[in-house]
Structure 1
Amino acid sequence: MVAVLGLLVVAALVVMIEVPSLLKNGQRKEIWIFSFLLVLGVGISIAHSLHVKVPNPLDWIIQLYRPASEMLDNALK
């Protein structure tokens, strides 16, 4: 539980450092992207710290390309 609190504190510090300069420069789209990526990263980090199995995106890519790889492998044998 301490890890989750630490992650939230660090995320809050990052927001306090980054968002004022983005607001000052009128970068609204960048704030939305920054917020999305920060929430995604903090969410995955919290899940990892709570020992939740987080799927690896590379596994999805391997499953997507496996049929083509096997077909090409069979064609070259």
Structure 2
Amino acid sequence: MWTITAILLASAAIAILELPSLMKKKLYKEFVIVCCLVVLGTILSIAQSLHMQLPNPLDLITFVFQPCSDFIQGFLH
């Protein structure tokens, strides 16, 4: 429970420090992107702290490029 509280406090601190300056400079697209990234990071951090099984991005990359690798290695052997 303490880890979730720490994660939420850290996310709130990041938002408090970053978001007002983006609004002052009227950087609305950047504001939305920073909000999305902070929310996504917060969700993933909380899920990780709860020991949930998270997908590995490397698995998707391997799935996409493995056929290409097999095809090229077929020519080399």
Scaled by the length of structure 2, the TM-score of the pair is: 0.93
1:33 is matched with which residue? 33
Q: Deviations over 1:1-43 (max 9, x none)?
A: 1111110011011111111111111111111000011111111
2:26 aligns to what SS in structure 1?
Answer: coil
C-alpha distance in structure 2 between counterparts of 1:53 and 1:66, whole Å: 24
Runs of 4+ residues deviating >4 angstroms: none
Q: What is the aligned length?
A: 77
C-alpha distance in structure 2 between counterparts of 1:76 and 1:19, whole Å: 53
Q: Percent identity?
A: 39
C-alpha distance in structure 2 between counterparts of 1:20 and 1:64, whole Å: 40
- 2:8 corresponds to 1:8: yes
1:51 aligns to what SS in structure 2?
Answer: coil
- What's the C-alpha RMSD, in Å, of the aligned pairs? 0.8
C-alpha distance in structure 2 between counterparts of 1:41 and 1:47, whole Å: 10
